[in-house]
Amino acid sequence: MKAVVLGGGESGYGSAVLAQVKGLDVFLSDKGRIESKYAEVLDRYGIAYEEGTHTEARILDADFAVKSPGIPDTAPIVTKLRERGIPVISEIEFAGRYTKGKTICITGSNGKTTTTTMTGEILRAAGYDVAVGGNIGESFAYTVATGDREWYVLELSSFQLDGIVDFRPDIAVVTNITPDHLDRYDHKFQNYIDSKFRIIRNQRPEDRFIYGIDNPETCREVARRNPALHRLPFTSRSYRECAEAGMPLAQATAESGSAAPQGAFLTPEGTFAVSVNDRSVTIDPARMQVKGIHNIYNAQAAALAALAAGVAPEIIEKTLYGFAGVEHRMEPAGTVRGTEYINDSKATNVDSAWYALDSMTRPTIWIAGGTDKGNDYEPLKPLARRHVKALVCMGVDNAKLIRDFTDMVPVVCDTHSLEEAMRTCADLARPGDTVLLSPACASFDLFRNYEERGRLFKAAVQQLNQEAER
């Protein structure tokens, strides 16, 4: 059987290796440049590939294609494949066909990286044979190809979910849904919502579905779809409040064998009771290292997933309280001349930036900008008025940000590189201020990805600190 892989990044090279290991006739094609670290792996496995072009004759001779998530469905080569009736699937769908492991799959507009990382750490602490990947870390396909695991904890983007056909998570998590990537979905929010909810399309009644019901879109969709699954909601409210509001809760608790409400709910003591069947854990926000309501949501989702996977409650609690956060999400980057710098490069949409700005307690110089994905900045304006002393726009085209926030904050600066942005921040900063990199945009105009943006930001802070000490 002939397989073609489109794209030679993390997802693409992993899919190609899996195809090769499974004895398929595989060819990888990338219209751009393939990074040397990926090309070396392809060479080591003897996989045929090309870069800088798409040889249509060879691509259209395939029995099926595995498309990297960064390639839109509207790409000409994808359109031609489908016109020929050649199936185009995602790496997640492809890898899922060859694993015997169980999967915990986490999607959402915000919180999925932290929730995925938390869940993975809990399962590792419990001694599970687990791999963490998907949209972070090693690709699902490469892990399956090089040593199948008993458990996978996978962060899944909407782009990855778009290409699933039969893939079925054992445990599915939707953290929340807010407008994001609308440029990829014809600027229709419902299209994006539908993409996210593909995560449960193949689940069976015995599978677990974990979802945040404080998020209006998620709450509405669950109520509308009413999936016949073992549902486990999480919320900042009590069970009684949610029930009285008519929110979509778990099915009758009698089915679980426990009188405890199924899911995660606020208690009168100010803690959160997390229950799956007859097993429960307590989350005390005061004992968590990571702060903010968004991290409570992440911890609730991770705890529910871990309980559903059979992890002992005491291990869940210990791991959650020891969790110190993930790189590029509200990550302290250093202090320079009394000004703290925070790396929140992972905030690639408006909602993520909202949580970051909402947590600010000091005068803030906010670095924002990049590739706009159809953003509506309106929700950020009240927080900008309250917390932001200066907005430093960093991107190729900052016109929209400048237009929306001029007269909203005292100072708005237009910069077009990280170096220029950091010099501007250093000039504006005073002791007691915070410089917050929380872009609310994708990184692709100036950087390869948000990871590169965050790491270069941290390196620039170190450089500023060295200069200050001279």
> Is the predicted pLDDT of residue 363 greater than 50, yes or no?
yes
- One domain for residues 106 and 225: yes
pLDDT (0 to 100) of residue 254? 41
* Mean pLDDT, residues 434-458 taken together: 94
pLDDT (0 to 100) of residue 228? 87
pLDDT (0 to 100) of residue 258? 61
Specify the number of domains making up the chain: 3
- d(CA 73, CA 58) in angstroms, rounded, equals 19
- One domain for residues 74 and 35: yes
* Mean pLDDT, residues 457-469 taken together: 92
> Is the predicted pLDDT of residue 122 greater than 60, yes or no?
yes
Write down which residue in 305, 322, 339 finishes a domain.
322
Pairing between β-strand 279-283 and β-strand 272-276 as defined by DSSP bridges: antiparallel
- One domain for residues 187 and 53: no
Write down which residue in 86, 109, 125 finishes a domain.
86
- One domain for residues 291 and 430: no
> Is the predicted pLDDT of residue 182 greater than 80, yes or no?
no
Structure tokens at 51: 């870069």
Q: 426 or 251, which is more confident?
A: 426
Lowest mean pLDDT of 116-130, 190-204, 345-359, 417-431, name the range. 345-359
- One domain for residues 109 and 244: yes
* Mean pLDDT, residues 417-429 taken together: 96
CA distances from 431 to 212, 265, 340, 428, 445 (A): 39, 40, 9, 10, 32
Q: 328 or 19, which is more confident?
A: 19
- One domain for residues 182 and 247: yes
Query: Using 50, 70 and 90 to split pLDDT, how confident is the model at 20?
Result: very high
Which range scores top for mean pLDDT: 57-61, 162-166, 288-292, 327-331? 57-61
Write down which residue in 33, 57, 86 finishes a domain.
86
Phi and psi based region of residue 290 (left: phi greater than 0; alpha: psi -120 to 50; beta: remaining): beta
State which residues form the domain around 443: 331-469
Pair 142, 21: CB distance under 8 Å: no
* Of 320, 317, 235, 313, residue with least CA distance to 277: 313
- One domain for residues 105 and 181: yes
Query: Using 50, 70 and 90 to split pLDDT, how confident is the model at 252?
Result: very low
* Of 67, 66, 78, 54, residue with least CA distance to 24: 66
- One domain for residues 116 and 140: yes
Query: Using 50, 70 and 90 to split pLDDT, how confident is the model at 257?
Result: low
For helices 216-225 and 189-196, what crossing angle results, to 10°? 70
- d(CA 152, CA 141) in angstroms, rounded, equals 11
pLDDT (0 to 100) of residue 253? 44
- One domain for residues 78 and 98: no
Could you tell me where the DSSP H helices lie in 134-188? 140-147, 158-162
Pair 90, 160: CB distance under 8 Å: yes
User: Tell me: the pLDDT tens digits for 188-247?
Assistant: 889 999 999 999 999 999 999 999 999 999 999 999 998 889 999 999 999 999 999 999
> Over the chain, what is the mean pLDDT?
93
- One domain for residues 315 and 398: no
CATH number, domain containing residue 386: 3.90.190.20
Residue 406's CB is within 10 A of a number of other CB atoms, namely 11
CATH number, domain containing residue 216: 3.40.1190.10
- One domain for residues 118 and 183: yes
* Mean pLDDT, residues 333-357 taken together: 92
- One domain for residues 367 and 426: yes
